[in-house]
Amino acid sequence: MMSRLIDYSGRNVLITGASSGIGRLLALRMAEKGARVALVARRRDQLEKVAEEIRAFGGEAVPLACDVGDREQVMAASTRAVEELGSIDVLVNNAGYGHHRHFLDWDLDDMERMMRVNYLGSLYFTKALLSAMVDRGRGWLVFIASVAGRIAPAEETAYAASKHAMVGLASSLSLEVEDAGVHVLTVLPGAIRTPFFDDEALARLPAVARKQMAEPEDLVDEIMVALVRGRRELTFPRWIASGYVAQAIAPGFTRRQVKKQTLVDPDGE
């Protein structure tokens, strides 16, 4: 049973949310190491730019415009990726978005949309591509979730719910498929400095959260190392993982701290 992803030469990778941020950086990094990459996102023009970056250093990329929250589009994109590349060895479920809003002020349509993109998109792509991995006895699934999927912050109800669902899917699935040769890595980032946080989101983040934002390149480094080592879970920055222990042994204290650090006051401090 192979769990460590060391050599990308000849590997075929599909990455959702590949037009910017973490998805783009992972696509570039894996392509540099020899992988052929299927790039998935809604914005075809942005995907083409990433594909050109990859082709510029001799890599191979297939841009696939797709709304990951639409099941039919996902199935069509998955079929196209297999037709173009022959198979998918590594699936990176990265597409997602979030907001920092009070539940009572949050538009219900957007909350439903967030669950479709953040959770159901991962479910759809995994359902489309996992069976072939199991048949081959080899594959890697990477779920880019969030620390919010383990410790729910204030004012992120819809986002936290979608990421809790994603973490549950990945954790349960790992138990089912690891003996079939498919390795599952769940990634739990904290606040990362990417286009995910637009000006509005940054303005609503508490000052302490803005100061603790990490760089996306550092997260990608850690993801690549986690795949080499065959890890099943990665929290980044790593110090955040201490919060899981605190939540288990001192839930009241952890609740007060999370509320203090994530509930925005009127001055945004």
Report d(CA 209, CA 258) in Å as an integer: 11
Report which of residues 250 and 165 the model is more confident about. 165
Starting at the earlier edge strand, list the strands of the sheet with 60-65.
Answer: 60-65, 36-41, 12-16, 90-93, 139-144, 182-189, 233-236
* DSSP H or E run through 88: none
Out of 119, 124, 159, 244, the active site residue is 159
218-224: long-range contacts, CB 8 A cutoff, minimum separation 24: 219/22, 219/187, 219/189, 219/192, 220/22, 220/25, 220/26, 220/29, 223/26, 223/142, 223/185, 223/187, 224/29
In degrees, rounded to 5, the angle at the alpha carbon of residue 32 between the alpha carbons of residues 31 and 35 is 35
Q: Give me the pLDDT at residue 137, please.
A: 96
How confident is the model at residue 256, as a pLDDT?
Answer: 82
User: Which tens digit of pLDDT belongs to each residue from 243-258?
Assistant: 777 778 877 877 787 7
Class of domain 12-262: alpha beta
Q: Is 159 a catalytic residue?
A: yes
Q: Which of 186, 141, 134, 154 shows the shortest CA–CA distance to 265?
A: 154
Q: What gap in Å lies between CA 269 and CA 261, rounded to an integer? A: 9
Please tell me the pTM assigned to this model: 0.89
pLDDT at 196 over 70: no
